[in-house]
Amino acid sequence: MSHPRPDLSVAIGPLRLRNPILLASGTCGYGRELADLVDIGALGGIVLKGISLKPRPGNPPPRIVETPSGLLNAIGLENVGIDTFIERKLPSLREIDTCIVSNILGESVEEYGELARILDMAGGVHAIEVNISCPNVKAGGFAFGTDPAAAAEVTLAVKESTCLPVIVKLSPNVTDITAIARAVEKAGADALSLVNTLFGMAIDIRRRRPALANVFGGLSGPAIRPVALRMVWQTVRAVGIPVIGIGGIRTAGDAIEFLMAGARAVQIGTISLVNPRASTEIISGIESFMREEGFSRITDMRIDR
Ligand SMILES: Cc1cc2nc3c(=O)[nH]c(=O)nc-3n(C[C@H](O)[C@H](O)[C@H](O)COP(=O)(O)O)c2cc1C
């Protein structure tokens, strides 16, 4: 028996999304790139490519390698920089009827604060996602996201610089993700998103050298899903703020696993590079599943324990 139309809308702090599906940072450019292929207005939201204060050329090639059920990338956070973003990319984003999330990255706590302040004044984005998987250049190069105090410091600097909702994106390259999650929640984050890519590498055996020019890269795609799901499950049970699940989601069933683990929404990354329509197919698939199983709201699917 099929049930009445379910309500797919979700709230992430003050944000209201028409459904729990967003495109993940770095896999949908600055939004417009996919516009001919995907009905962006049908999505819950899009998270734009990470932006830094100054433009970044990224790493030299090769910077993408396929692995079994996954992708290793060492793009090196290439981006146009905040000024060009505001001048050339932001105006057309204002015409899109979906939630626009700007992803930011800095080399120091001050840079994160400055980016948040500039975005707050620019208008046109609905939330900021803070990528804390970047090296803290002033403090020896360890990633902000691997240390609870540094992660909290960045969160605080961003919160103090903007009225926009702040989503902090956690790195999976840690022993206990809940320690970072709690520190970031205490510093005032409105929501968390996890996970970013897992640190990895591959070797080109014919050339006897690492396959990526940068040697190391970030692993994404279906290969990381069980790890991401485990971290989302743990984090949901460690904090009170909403959690957005990310990592290897390929189908509606994969997305539902994260929603059952307690994620309020999910982001779709690498699979869009294989099938650009995956995100909208996932939305229809979730709706069909809810009808079949008699769920009327997304949060009803959560496993309570
Ligand atoms: C090519 C590429 C570029 C990415 N760029 C960014 C980025 O700029 N900022 C960020 O926070 N995450 C970035 N990510 C990480 C994704 O947003 C996502 O967290 C990760 O890929 C896991 O999800 P997936 O397995 O669905 O791809 C990037 C991932 C890929 C594959």
Give the pLDDT confidence score for residue 2 in this predicted structure: 58
Distance 3 CA to ligand 1 centre (A): 36
44 lines ligand 1 (CB under 6 A): no
Q: Whose CA is nearest to atom 8 of ligand 1?
A: 50
Instruction: For domain 10-58+77-197+221-301, give the CATH number.
Output: 3.20.20.70
Predicted TM-score (pTM) of this structure: 0.97
Q: Per-10-residue mean pLDDT for the chain, 305 residues long?
A: 84 96 96 88 97 95 96 95 96 92 96 98 96 84 92 98 98 97 98 97 98 96 98 98 98 98 98 96 98 97 92
**Phi, psi of 11, deg, nearest 5:** -115, 135
79 lines ligand 1 (CB under 6 A): no
For residues 73 and 52, give the distance between their C-alpha atoms in angstroms, rounded to a whole number: 18
Q: Pocket of ligand 1, candidates 33, 85, 220: which has the most ligand atoms within 8 Å of its Cβ, to mutate?
A: 220
Give the pLDDT confidence score for residue 1 in this predicted structure: 57
Looking at residue 176, its amino acid is: D
- Residue 83 vs residues 39, 54, 90: alpha-carbon distances, Å: 27, 8, 10
Helix (H) or strand (E) holding 22: strand 21-23
Distance 24 CA to ligand 1 centre (A): 6
75 lines ligand 1 (CB under 6 A): yes
Active site residue 134: yes
Per-domain boundaries in the chain: 10-58+77-197+221-301
The SS3 assignment for 19 reads: coil
Distance 54 CA to ligand 1 centre (A): 20
Give the pLDDT confidence score for residue 296 in this predicted structure: 97
DSSP 245-299: EESS--SHHHHHHHHHHT-SEEEE-THHHH-TTHHHHHHHHHHHHHHHHT--BGG
Atom from ligand 1 closest to the CA of residue 25: 17
